[in-house]
Chains A and B, each alone.
Chain A
């Protein structure tokens, strides 16, 4: 069962988890009883290289005790698994799902209140239904953001993460599948407002978009480097407030480029409309590139 959302009963969702059981295939599956029997062989032998001479078996370095009756056997098991490997496998599965349908997905990251929802509402209006769109809204508690998107005329699904401080690939994958996305959709995923861990959780998106508002201070990139390293584009939002705040656009841009030399930086105001043409142009360009890469791939596959 899934610890994140407790969806263990959902057979369909389980079926879409890739690799959930693949890494477990291991000889011991075939002979569990035998393995119980010789369990101590894995860990209680003297460590290799410690047996310097035949008369010296050093058990001291291993935690296991000898076969003292009634005492349990401790042994060492090598695991070597990235903690985020499960999320990565699910993200890869989502990416495949999106690719098969030509769905261009963007993952929006920022601190709370930087302007993600406002940007989406404005973007939806600017695109005016040129292609199918949908939004996944991540928030710890409220459903306000999804309501704002629906009012703008686009399907939205709200994920409440509760105490969870980020969306993960499992949540995003389930949400995407239940939205019944049309082919060639544009899918926006508004992540939980948090500049730290959403950067480490791949959702299967084509690109990450980071939004920094000028009310947050121009040293944010250096304080939260991960977010700026993983993003393709940085939107510097609320530039309408620049006359009133102490924010140096050059400093912020230089810091972001130091972390990520290839990052594109677009100053915008999602309320007043500054920079929206550049943002929409970026969207069109990247979506076209994405669809082009897909068709090139299928052509090779044929």
Chain B
């Protein structure tokens, strides 16, 4: 399962940052997850619990911040909100360049 390896990468960053910011325990993890990040939130929560259970983030709460899909139309310049990443411009039918929605980012931690 893909979310499992993503959680391993996430834990790696959390462990690295522990040396930088001198924390011993993580209580809450804020993750930004874009609509088109290809990440399934239920699978993510499930994997997170498994991956962190023997680490400094054991029992940490996972807070997911949803990032909507946005795009910019090449043809008419409109900024549009996207449901799907292959949508055409609702104003002119033009090709839309995705400007947000692919995020998968560790934003902030609550630590001690």
Contact = CB atoms under 8 A, between A and B. Distances in A.
A125 interface: no
A172 to B, nearest CB: 15
A258 B85 CA distance: 10
A250 B35 CA distance: 29
Contacts of B99: none
Given A32-B22, A75-B111, A81-B105, A86 B38 contact: no
A82 B102 CA distance: 11
**Among A74, A83, A229, residue most surrounded by chain B Cβ atoms (within 10 Å):** A83
B38 A77 contact: no
B5 A83 contact: no
B88 A258 contact: yes
A181 interface: no
Interface string A4-27: 100000000000000000001010
Nearest to B14: A79
Interface size class of A (residues with CB under 8 A): 35 or more
Interface stretch (A96-104, A196-204, A240-248): A196-204
Contact of A86 (B13, B88, B112): B13
A79 B108 contact: yes
B112 A72 contact: yes
Nearest to A74: B112
B38 A196 contact: yes
Given A82-B104, A164-B5, A229-B85, A76 B12 contact: no
A87 interface: yes
Contacts of A83: 6, 9-10, 13, 31, 104-106
A4 B8 contact: yes
Interface string B1-36: 110111011111100110111110101100100001
A285 interface: no
A78 B107 contact: yes
B4 A36 contact: no
A63 B5 contact: no
Nearest to A1: B12
Given A28-B22, A39-B22, A258-B88, A80 B107 contact: yes
B107 A225 contact: no
A82 B23 CA distance: 20
B38 A200 contact: yes
A26 B18 CA distance: 12
B78 interface: no
Given A226-B38, A229-B85, A261-B95, A79 B9 contact: no
30 contacts: A4-B5, A4-B8, A24-B16, A28-B22, A32-B22, A36-B22, A39-B22, A63-B27, A75-B23, A76-B108, A77-B23, A77-B108, A77-B109, A78-B107, A78-B108, A79-B109, A80-B106, A80-B107, A81-B105, A83-B10, A83-B31, A83-B106, A84-B104, A86-B9, A86-B13, A166-B2, A197-B5, A225-B36, A225-B86, A255-B86
